[in-house]
Amino acid sequence: MWQFTIEDVPALSRAAMLLGTGGGGGTGTELVDPILRRALREHGPVQVVQPGELPPESLAVPVGFVGSGTVMHEKPYEGGEIVRAVRGVEQHTGVTVQAVVGVAMTGIMAVVPVIAAAQLGLPLVDADGTGRGVTKLSQTTLTMAGIDLTPAAFTADKGSNLLVDGVNSADAESVIRLSMPAMGGWAGMAWRPLSMDEITKGMLVGSYSRAAEMGRLLGDRDREGLAAGYGARTLFEGKVVEVPRRHLGQSTTGTVVVEHSEQRDRALRIEMQNEYLVALEDGRIKACVPDLICVLEQETGRCITAERVRYGLWVEVLAIPCDPAWRTEAGLELLGPRSFGYDMDYVPLERAAA
Amino acid sequence: MTTSWQPVTVRMLCGLEGLVGAHLAAGEAGLDQEVRSIEVVSTLASAESVPPGALVVAAPGETELVVLDMMLSAVRAAGAVGFVVTNGPHLVGSATRLAGKLGMPLLVATFKDPLQLARQLDRVVHAPELVRADVLSQLGRHLRRRHTEPGPVLDTLARMLSGQAGLISPVGAVLAGSALALPEGALTDPSPHTFPGAADGREGDLVLVPVVLDAQSGPDMWLAVQLPPGPRTWTTTAEQAAVLAASAVTGWAARRRLEGEREGRERSDLLSELLKKPNHPSRDLAESGLKLGWRMHGWHTGVHLRPTRSASNRRRLTEVLNAALGEQGLGGHLVERGEGWAFWATADREPAHSSHGDVVKPLRAALNSLSGEALLTAGVGRPRKGPEGLARTLTEARQACLLAGTGARSVRVAHIDELDLQQLLADWYSLESFQTYARQILKPLYDRGETQLIRTVEAYLEHESSASSTAARLGIHRNTVAERIARVESLLDVNLALPDHRLVVQLACRTLRFSDRQAS
């Protein structure tokens, strides 16, 4: 158990963007960081606990947000959305939750559970269902473990509440995505509360501790620490020379071409669909999903989202091996290159061309 | 034919059909590579399996082309020479850079149906194959129409392929057509094969096709075609045309061998008939002889030849022997006889006694010229007159030939006159088989170490079985001689009063002395 204080906000924020691999809410966590700070100031630090540190019968509610981070820019987080969603789920299921847990360790999604935990005065279970950026709510280790998350409650800023029940998580996602325009572009969400046993079996435990440590190393620009602790590897350094984009359904699909800063005849091609998914040099895979590909601004060391990457930026492309759970057959079916439509087999970062 | 020399290159295709207006994004260095086929790919797997020389058309698609870079490197690894793609967001700097690095033209074209584009380009690329079909069918017609000899076949082949064609023996000698320079060890591989042309571009590929009559004995000849520098498709055409021509040459060679074998059989049958009744050759026999060019009347000088070891390929040996004799002016009617061959020269008048060098010298030269191929010995008979004379001179030649090859003597060609009695005996003594036999006969004496008895019996037989002469020669008493001879007779189990026994024992003694002398 440890305490998440205001001092931990920058590290979590950095790690959430790094692990978001270009996604995580488009504009990054800058919109929710002040809300987290305010919540911590008002309600005090959040206890971050391991699943075993709570009584086994305790229930933790998975919370997050769904929709467009870009819209959130225009229509900011009002602050009470998640709490209302949690109350909605409690009311519908007739249970009382004893803790909060993360859904996906990516961008705003990684920050929202901490805000909710502070506002609700509940501990935060040190776990999430992805350990990295994902495009769909169904792309989680919970899906792999066969754990359904319905019923779920969704709330928008003007007080609308939507409760989805009787369908599985994937169908619940379809319903809520269709409702997004009516709800104003984004919504806070709370899923069915999970037992400690379900969390241990179906989630990646230790996510927040890991994120805080990675965020600190990233802030210190400690590449050696990141390499030693998390297998991070710098793939390429250079200038973005081309970013053709096209829109495919909900996602921003496109390509980033980075020209090497010293060897001008070298170029790295990164394919993106909200997240950075595949990195190629000379037609050979250097890294691909589910391993993490992150683009950092060279000068500031800040992560650049797929939505903000643009011509002329000097960048460092970093790759980090994913959690082993994603490298299983079931994991690759959910988050392998083919699940994004790429005609290629997964090549683990450690075996990809150096 | 001149159009076929132009290889279809990426550059040529750029201005044609659906590629009119195509833009070269990268890979200019590879524009002059030969395009051998057009392939449409839509997946990475299909990209990995394109054949070498392919110009690849990528089917436009949302998910497939995002891995354009991977496709480029995959098709290039498979040997593709160009890539055609539609314009779009998939076409980024990394792809053009990669195409440039790979030296593979990356063509950006506007097309909706990749199959239609491929079909159009395919027609152009396969034009050389249409030319090939044309060449082969024309060649087929030529070969059917005439040409029983290889010369015209080679001429036709050379003309149609704009190259040079030759028929070459297994040792590299030109038999017909053009003299071609073959690389070292070119004829080692007994299957059809092609040597790539020189890198400097002065000469094109060299196509070699074996002419095989008997699959077990390897190629009898080789058909070689030297092409001028040209595209690979033309070499393929040449290879197929050469195989076609080689089959025509095979037919010719088979016919020739069949005729040769039939004629050879006729000759040996006829000669055996003649030799059976040399005094009264029947009218039929005489006429058949005349038909073969044999003159019964006149002076014949017979020659007999045989291999020192039994030949593995007798038919071939007959052919090369005939050729070698022909070169020395001794060509004519070589007749197979037993293990060897016979022939004879006929003159109107009796040749002078000193003239047998006229036959022996060229004969020796002919045999020497064959020493790489086989070791042969020859015998020459005396000039004899008329049909019965032919039989005699051939018999003498055969005897001389038998002696020429035996024992310590290294004479390759022997004339019957050169063989005197002493020599004849010496030849006998030196025969390994006879030496063994002699040792066997005298073994009882040797085993007992009775050299004295051997010396005595030898002297006794040399002195016409006279005990007194022998005693005088050896300086011993007459009775001692008689007693020793009796012991010899008992030990060897012979009776020296019988002429046959005497002869055998005497020959044995002489042979052993001869071999002892040789050994010392």
User: What CATH number does residue B86 fall under?
Assistant: 3.40.1390.20
> Nearest 5°: CA angle at B478, between B472 and B480?
115
Per the CB < 8 Å rule, is B64 touching A284? no
- Tell me whether residues A341 and B63 touch, CB distance under 8 A: yes
Confirm or reject contact between A310 and chain B (CB < 8 A): no
A118 in a domain, yes or no? yes
Nearest Cα to A238, choosing from A256, A253, A252, A220? A256
Residue A81 shares a structural domain with residue A160: yes
- State how many domains chain B has: 4
User: What's residue B2's pLDDT?
Assistant: 34
Sign of torsion over alpha carbons A127, A130, A132, A135: negative
Select, from the ranges A199-213, B36-50, B78-92, B415-429, the one with the highest average predicted confidence (pLDDT): A199-213
Residues B302 and B402 in one domain: yes
For the packed helices B499-519 and B451-462, what is the interaxial angle rounded to 10 degrees?
120
pLDDT at B4 (0 to 100): 39
Greater model confidence, B153 or A45:
A45
Residue contact A269–B92, C-beta within 8 A: yes
CATH of the domain at A302: 2.40.390.10
Name the stretches of chain A with pLDDT < 70. 25-27, 248-251, 353-354
Q: Which of B26, B14, B116, B1 is nearest to B55 (CA)?
A: B14
Q: Do B97 and A341 touch (CB under 8 A)?
A: no
Alpha carbon distance B405, B370 (integer Å) = 16
Rg over alpha carbons for chain B, rounded to the nearest Å, is 39
ipTM for the whole complex: 0.80
pLDDT of residue A101: 97
Query: How far apart are alpha carbons A256 and A337 in whole angstroms?
Result: 17
Q: Say whether B92 and A282 touch across the interface (CB within 8 A).
A: no
| B300: in domain | yes
Decide: helix, strand or coil at residue A328. coil
CATH classification at residue A159? 3.40.1610.10
Q: How far is CA A79 from CA A47, A118, B245, B301, B436, in A?
A: 20, 11, 92, 130, 124
8 Å CB contact between B101 and B119: no
* C-alpha distance from residue B124 to each of A128, A141, B130, B131, B506 (Å): 60, 55, 10, 12, 93
B40 and B87 co-located in one domain: yes
CB of A70 closer than 8 Å to CB of A26: yes
Q: If you measure CA to CA, which chain A residue comes closest to B102?
A: A282
Q: Is residue B101 part of a domain?
A: yes
Based on the domain organization, do B165 and B98 belong to the same domain? Answer: no
Q: Give the total residue count for chain A.
A: 354
Distance CA A304, CA A315 (A): 9
Partner-chain contact B70 A259, CB within 8 Å = no
In B303-450, which ranges are continuous DSSP H helix?
Answer: 314-327, 357-369, 386-404, 421-429, 432-447
Closest Cα of chain A to B62: distance in Å?
Answer: 9
pLDDT tens digits, one per residue of B86-110: 888 788 899 999 999 999 999 999 8
Domain boundary among B94, B125, B156: B125
Using DSSP bridges, classify how beta strands A124-125 and A99-102 pair: parallel, antiparallel or unpaired: parallel
User: What range defines the domain where residue B483 resides?
Assistant: 430-519
Q: Is residue B21 part of a domain?
A: yes
From A66-80, B38-52, B166-180, B465-479, the region with the lowest mean pLDDT: A66-80
- Tens-digit pLDDT profile for residues B348-382: 888 877 776 778 888 888 888 887 777 888 888 88
Token code pair at residue B518: 């040789």
CB contact under 8 A, B89 and A269: no
Name the residue facing B69 among A241, A244, A283 (closest C-beta). A283
Contact assessment for residue B60 and residue B81, using Cβ atoms and an 8 Å cutoff? no
Model confidence at B5: pLDDT above 70: no
According to the model, what pLDDT value does residue A249 have?
A: 62
Residue B268 falls inside a structural domain: no
For position A250, what pLDDT does the model report?
Answer: 61
pLDDT value for A121: 96
Q: Which residues of B touch A267 (CB under 8 A)?
A: 93-94, 97-98
* Residue at A351 is within a domain: no
The answer on A321 and A262 residing in a single domain is yes
Residue with tokens 């990675």: A214
**What are the distances in angstroms from CA B98 to CA A92, A261, A343, B5, B72?**
58, 17, 19, 32, 8
Q: Which residues of B touch A341 (CB under 8 A)?
A: 62-63, 66
Cα A243 to Cα A252, A284, A337, B62, B220, distances in angstroms: 12, 20, 20, 17, 69
Both B15 and B114 in a single domain? yes
A215 close to B (CB below 8 A): no
Asked if residue A349 belongs to a domain, the reply is: no
Q: What is the Cα–Cα distance from A231 to B346, expressed in whole angstroms?
A: 101
Other CB atoms within 10 Å distance of the CB of residue A333? 12
Smallest CA–CA distance, residue A106 to chain B, in Å, is: 25
Work out the minimum CA distance from B74 to partner chain A, whole angstroms.
Answer: 8
The residues, ordered by sequence, that sit 6+ positions from A150 with a Cβ below 8 Å of its Cβ are: A164, A165, A166, A167, A168, A169, A172, A191, A192
Q: For residue A322, which of A251, A237, A232 has the smallest C-alpha distance?
A: A232
Query: Is residue B314 pLDDT above 80, yes or no?
Result: no
Residues A239 and A142 in one domain: no
CA atoms within 13 A on the CB side of B240: 16
DSSP A125-186: ESEES-SS--SSTT-SHHHHTT----SEEEE-TTS-EEEE-SS-HHHHHHHHHHHHHHHTSE
Beta-strand pair A124-125/A46-49: parallel
Q: Is B267 part of any domain?
A: no
β-bridge pairing A284-288 and B82-85: unpaired
CA angle B62, B64, B67 (to 5 degrees): 115
Same domain, A200 and A242: no
Say if residue A123 is in the same domain as residue A187: yes
Cβ–Cβ below 8 Å for B92 and A284: no
For residues A198 and A274, membership in a common domain is answered with: no
In a domain, A353, yes or no: no
Using the 3D structure, point to which of A180, A211, A242 is the last residue of a domain.
A211
Q: Considering Cα of B92, then B101, then A22, then A317, what sign does the dihedral take?
A: negative
Q: How far is B453 from B448, CA to CA, in rounded Å?
A: 10
**Which of B223, B254, B285 lies at the terminal end of a domain, its last residue?**
B254
Same domain, B414 and B439: no
- Claim to verify: residue B295 and residue B321 sit in the same structural domain: yes
Q: Do A267 and B73 touch (CB under 8 A)?
A: no
Question: What percentage of chain B exceeds 70 in pLDDT?
Answer: 91
CA distance B214 to A22: 74
Least CA distance to B97: which residue of chain A? Answer: A265
pLDDT tops 60 at residue B312: yes
Mutate to test the interface with B, among A338, A343, A344, A345 (most CBs of B within 10 A): A343
Laid out side by side, the sheet with B174-177 consists of: B174-177, B164-168, B221-226, B206-211, B193-195
Nearest by Cα to A69 from A8, A17, A28, A126: A28
**CATH number reported for the structural domain that contains residue B219 in this entry:** 3.30.450.40
Confirm or reject contact between A271 and chain B (CB < 8 A). yes
What confidence tens digit (pLDDT) does each residue in B176-225 have? Answer: 888 888 888 888 888 899 988 877 767 888 999 999 887 777 788 899 99
Of the partner residues A259, A265, A271, the one whose CB lies closest to the CB of residue B66? A271
How far apart are alpha carbons A134 and A274 in whole angstroms? 9
B81 close to B72: Cβ distance less than 8 angstroms: no
CB contacts, 8 Å: B97 with chain A: 265, 267
Of B283 and A21, more confident: A21
What is the helix, strand, coil percentage profile of chain B, to 5?
Answer: 55, 15, 30
Same-domain status, A117 and A22: yes
Is the pLDDT reported for residue B64 higher than 60? no
Cα separation of A4 and A6, whole Å?
Answer: 7
Q: What is the CA radius of gyration of chain A?
A: 19
Contact B67 A343 (CB under 8 A): yes
Q: Nearest 5°: CA angle at B224, between B219 and B229?
A: 150
Tell me what pLDDT residue B362 has. Answer: 86
Q: Where are the alpha helices (DSSP H) in chain A?
A: 9-19, 33-43, 69-74, 81-93, 108-120, 141-144, 169-183, 196-202, 207-219, 223-230, 329-335
Element (H, E) at B152: helix B150-161
* Residues paired with residue B223 on neighbouring β-strands, in sequence order: B167, B209
Tell me the pLDDT band of B507, cut-offs 50, 70 and 90. Answer: confident
| Whole-number Å distance between alpha carbons of B443 and B460 | 19
- Residue ranges of chain B whose CB lies within 8 Å of a chain A CB: 43-45, 62-64, 66-67, 69-74, 89-90, 92-95, 97-98, 101
Output the pLDDT for position B3.
36
The CA distance from B89 to the nearest CA of chain A, in Å, is 6
Structural domains in chain A (count): 2
Q: Is residue A78 part of a domain?
A: yes
Contacts B93 to A, Cβ<8 Å: 241-242, 257, 259, 267
Assess contact for A229 and A284: CB atoms under 8 A: no
User: Who's near B362: CB < 8 A, 6+ residues apart?
Assistant: B328, B329, B330
Tell me: do B297 and B353 sit in the same domain. yes
* A279 and A327 belong to one structural domain: yes
| A208 in Cβ contact with A73 (< 8 Å) | no
Do both A45 and A183 map to the same domain?
Answer: yes
Spell out the residues 6+ positions from residue B323 whose beta carbon is closer than 8 angstroms to its own: none
In a domain, residue B135? The reply is no
For residue A44, the surrounding DSSP H or E stretch is none
Q: Say how far apart CA B482 and CA B499 lie, in whole Å.
A: 18
Domain of A134, in residue numbers: 2-211
